Every structure is written in structure tokens, then in C-alpha cells.
Amino acid sequence: SNRVAERVRRIKPSPSTAAAERANQLRREGHSIVSLVVGEPDFDTPPHIRAAAAAAMNAGATRYTALPGTLELRRAIVAKLQRENGLQYEPQDIVVTNGAKSAIYSALAATLEPGDEVIIPAPYWVSYPDMVLACEGAPVTVACPEEDGFKLSPSRLEAAITPRTRWLVLNSPSNPTGATYTVNEYKALAAVLARYPAVMVMTDDIYEHIVFGEGPAPHLLAAAPELKDRTLAINGVSKTYAMTGWRIGWAAGPKDLIKALDTFLSQSAGNSCSISQAAAAAALDGEQSFVAESVATYRQRRDATAAAVNAIPGLSCRLPDGAFYLFVNCAGLIGRMTPAGKPIETDGDVVLYLLEVAGVALVAGTAYGLSPYFRLSIATSQDVLDDGVARIADAVAKLR
């Protein structure tokens, strides 16, 4: 008999974690591997944030906190939402979680009945469909092709909605494409949603500050405030402040949903780490120069790396508006043959070939629900990126 429940057997480990582990294993075996897999800033958490954590710990912030988060942190989040997004919330409209990941999972767990549908525009962050499956819901992925800027169009949204649709998940800027919705695009989606009042919206705003255009990414609720009572706005400090290990995220939303999250979390994860909460409050309230500096670095890497990739025959990529990935179109390699005589039929074949022959670890587009592509993370130094792209160019030139 299988001791593992069906709802766990139907999910799979994150493909990016799997790719990172495979790269590490090859490294341990002595191969020279350039890993362009990870989705976390390569910077250290800024010193003033680390100092705030140490001070909090030494001042006794070592106990359980209020479940929805310390009042200090929830006030800092309220101030952030007002200052940066123009959105009005109260501390009681916020619940602090163990990373944005836990906010998303807990919200799904707290709202989905078996078979309820969740619309997920593809390419998507790898975890959304599996989280929905773990909560016994049905992921409805909607392909958003490159010619649409990898964005959900109003007509594709409308075609995907059924009486069972519970949530629409919007992630802007997007992992893996960097696609970022404009105010007008949000308004057009909101016009569709106006006809389906039962559909709730989860905005995953985790990359909102990693943007390369003018100003921060607009928020859905700034474009369509009428959606506020059915929107859960999810965010966290992981990407903006290089705080992936601290595990602080949050959800802001209508009272009934926040209360459900609060109850669910009180009987599952419990409160988030007390010391990390103090650090996150310092990040939000403190001086913000790290954000602009790190984004300037990502922008240089994006420009240099995209230019180098676009110079490789058979590969192409759009300049992403945000986040720290290139989503590279590899359609031009499909149908070619490796020097060993193996046909390249899928983006998985491309990624395997580049790992084995070039020693470059990437993640295939299939993991994100759109092929043939691969994701290349620019959250690593320019030297590593240059080495990686040069290796890719050499290996691609060897294809027949």
C-alpha cells in the first residue's frame, strides 16, 4: 500500500530545484558547470536590515508573535501599500506568512473546493499548478504566446472562465518571462472580470520592484479599484531586498479571506519567524537605495546578456520588462542534430544538450507551460553570464 496521499502523489518537486540539484551533482563529480537556474538575488541582504534583525533578537524578539504578524510589520506593510501602490489597507487586512509561497498556498487551501478551477496564464511560475493540485483544485492553464507579449488577453481570459472558476492568478512582472501588465491591459482584463463577479483575483507582486521601465510596475488594484473586495494582493521581501532565506511574505485582502488565512495558518504553519519579521519591517521602513542599485545591475546584465543570446543563430529573446530572467525562444534549434547524432526534438532536449555538452544548467520551457523555450536567470554575476552564454554559443554552433 502507498502511504503517500493522492493529493501529494499528483504533485512534483519544483523543476528549478531539480535542475539546480542536477547541476550541483555534476559539479561534485568534477564537471565545470555554469548554473543559470536560480531564482534568487545574488546579493547579500543589506547591512541595515541584518542589523535590525540582530538588534531585535538581542532585545528579546524570540517568542511567538501574533499569528497575522507583528503590528510593527503589518503597519510597515500598510505604509508600503499606500506609499508605493496607492492602496489603502488597515493592519487587520494583512496576514504575514512564511514567504509569498505560503501566502499563495494557504489562500488556495482556504478557498478551493475539490474541482474548483484556477486560471493560470502560461508561462507561469512552476509552483502555481502544483499548489492548486495539492489543494484538490483544477489548474486551467491558458497559453499566452510570445506574440501577445506572453500576457493574458481579455478574450483568452473570457474563454477560460467557467462556473467553476474560483481564482485568476496574475503575476506581473512575471517569472519566467518578465512580462509586465500596463494600466490599460489591467483595465481590459477588469472589464471582463466585471461580468464574472464570483471570480477572485490573486496578484503575485513579488517582482514589482525588479522593473526596467519608468517607475514601479502598476498594480491591478490601482488600475481597477472596483476589484478590491475580490482581490488578494500577495507580496514579500524575498526578491526586492535579497531576503529569500528570511521567509517573509504577506497577503492583503478582504476581511473574510484574511480571516480564513489567519485560521488556516494558526492551525498549520503558525506565525512567521519573529526575527525575520523585525528585519522585514526594517526593510520596508528603511532607506531604499539597495533597490535602485540592484535593479540597475540587473538591467545591465539583461541588456548585455540578451544581446549576446540574440546574436546566437537559432536563439532569440525579448527584452524582459521586469524580473531577473530571460525566456529564450529555441524554436530554431528544434529539428537539428547533436554531434553524437541525437535529434533535438523538444526544449527539454535543448536543455539536456546544453547541460551535457556546454556544462550550462537552464530550465526548459515545458516547466513553465510554454515550449520551445528555456529560462536563463540573470541573478548571477556578469562574468558567469558571459561564460555561460559563450558556452551556449559554442554548443549551438556544433549542432547539425
CA–CA gap between residue 252 and residue 3 (Å, rounded): 37
Q: CB–CB of 225/194 below 8 Å?
A: no
Q: Please, which of residues 2-61 interact with ligand PLP by CB under 6 A?
A: 39
Binding of residue 175 to ligand PLP (CB under 6 A): yes
**274-285 and 47-58 helices cross at what angle (nearest 10)?**
140
Q: Which residues pair with 254 in a beta bridge?
A: none
Binding of residue 165 to ligand PLP (CB under 6 A): no
Look up cell 534568487; give the residue. 40
In this chain, which of 45, 85, 111, 238 binds ligand PLP, going by CB under 6 A? 238
Q: Which is nearer to ligand PLP, 125 or 150 (CB)?
A: 125
Q: Is 364 left (phi over 0), alpha (psi -120 to 50) or beta?
A: beta
**Minimal distance in Å, beta carbon 243 to ligand PLP?**
8
Q: Which is nearer to ligand PLP, 234 or 312 (CB)?
A: 234
Binding of residue 177 to ligand PLP (CB under 6 A): no
List Cα–Cα distances, 394 to 102, 173, 178, 360, in angstroms: 41, 31, 27, 11
In this chain, which of 68, 99, 320, 365 binds ligand PLP, going by CB under 6 A? 99
Q: Which is nearer to ligand PLP, 179 or 333 (CB)?
A: 179
Residues 6+ positions from 307 with CB-CB distance below 8 Å? none
CA–CA gap between residue 341 and residue 80 (Å, rounded): 56
Residue 18 grid coordinates: 531539480
Smallest Cα–Cα separation from 121: which of 220, 232, 203? 203
Beta-carbon count within 10 A of 147 CB? 6
Of 95-103, 138-146, 253-261, 342-350, the window that binds ligand PLP (rule: CB under 6 A) is 95-103
Of 1-9, 93-101, 255-263, 351-359, the window that binds ligand PLP (rule: CB under 6 A) is 93-101
Binding of residue 100 to ligand PLP (CB under 6 A): yes
Q: Which is nearer to ligand PLP, 244 or 366 (CB)?
A: 244
Q: Which is nearer to ligand PLP, 247 or 336 (CB)?
A: 247
In this chain, which of 101, 228, 375, 391 binds ligand PLP, going by CB under 6 A? 101
* Contact residues: ligand PLP, CB under 6 A: 39, 99-101, 125, 171, 175, 204, 206, 236, 238, 244, 249
